[in-house]
Structure 1
Amino acid sequence: MSTFENLEYNSLLSNFKELLKNNSLKFTKQREVVLKTLYEKDEHFTPEDLYIFLRSTYPELNIGIATVYRTLNLLEESLMVTSISFGVAGKKFELANKPHHDHMICKNCGLIIEFQNDKIEQLQLEIAQANHFTITSHLMQLRGLCKECAKNSKH
């Protein structure tokens, strides 16, 4: 990690410790590796995928699936983590420290493509302004088929 990344992670970790304290929860290595993994991996994790990753990466920690779920829910409630809902298939989580971006989600394989487009952002502001509406946040999810799934569905 670079010096900036260390400072950023240390600040995130400090906020996490404060969050745990405010919720009368102990700071544990298991909870820390949930946060650290979300910080270090630029991925969207289901709780199950994160659990499997943590069990294989940190076998000595004896981390439970319930700890992963509870930690993710706490982080999401505190807005440190965001999620994308896949309906009955559950949620995928990512750390909320990234610059604003939107998502394209393949409805077949679940691939998530992140994108940011200044024209779309500006158009949203113009539409809101024309309707005397103040946007406080937004979430754009475009659902369809990725290149591979679209190609395979034509055969």
Structure 2
Amino acid sequence: MKKTDPRSKKLTDALRRAGVRITRQRAALLTVLADADDHPEATELQRRAEEAVPGISLSTVYRTLTELENQGVILRHQFEGAPARFEHSETQHHDHMIDVDTGEVVEFANERIERLQAEIADAMGYEIVHHRLELYVRKKAAETGTD
């Protein structure tokens, strides 16, 4: 069984629980979303779904994404200066680096950062309930090695 199949089922079940009808267009969108291992924007999801089933409107994409977010099966990320991006909620905790030049989103996990955040919260008398770390980055210029 492909990884996509359980994801598709989870997304489809979430919409059905919400009373949303699964049309051909929505089914195509759910397949595209289930297959996505990146952080696509709504317009990119629409473009990918259109390849399978022409005629899916951007408003249908947004309504579907909003309902999936309300059901807790996808996450919406609003990175600074960019349209919202979406990913599966089933992923392990990770943080994000956003390349300010290309818009590429890179996931990373770092145990030292996690420990440091917990230590800081504890020292101030708190425990972390939820957190999000976003680093806005730029590729370093290639070093020429000519001195």
TM class by shorter-chain length?
Answer: 0.7 to 0.9
Separation of aligned partners in 2, 1:89 and 1:6: 30
Separation of aligned partners in 1, 2:131 and 2:71: 17
Runs of 5+ consecutive residues of structure 1 not aligned to the other structure:
none
Superposed CA RMSD in Å reads 2.2
Runs of 5+ consecutive residues of structure 2 not aligned to the other structure:
143-147
In structure 2, which of residues 45, 68, 83 is the aligned counterpart of residue 50 of structure 1? 45
**2:145 aligned partner:** none
The answer on 1:64 being equivalent to 2:63 is: no
Return closer, same or farther for 1:57/1:14 CA change in 2, 3 Å cut-off: same
In structure 1, which of residues 18, 23, 31 is the aligned counterpart of residue 26 of structure 2? 31
Structure with a larger share of its residues in helix? 1
Separation of aligned partners in 2, 1:50 and 1:8: 16
Separation of aligned partners in 2, 1:18 and 1:7: 16
Alignment map for 1:119-138 (pairs within 5 Å): 119-138=112-131
**1:45 aligns to what SS in structure 2?**
coil
In structure 2, which of residues 89, 103, 110 is the aligned counterpart of residue 110 of structure 1? 103
Alignment-mate amino acid for residue 129 of structure 2? T
TM-score by length of 2: 0.82
| Same amino acid, percent of matched pairs | 32
Deviation at 1:94, TM superposition (A): 1.1
TM-score by length of 1: 0.78
Work out the number of aligned pairs and report it. 142
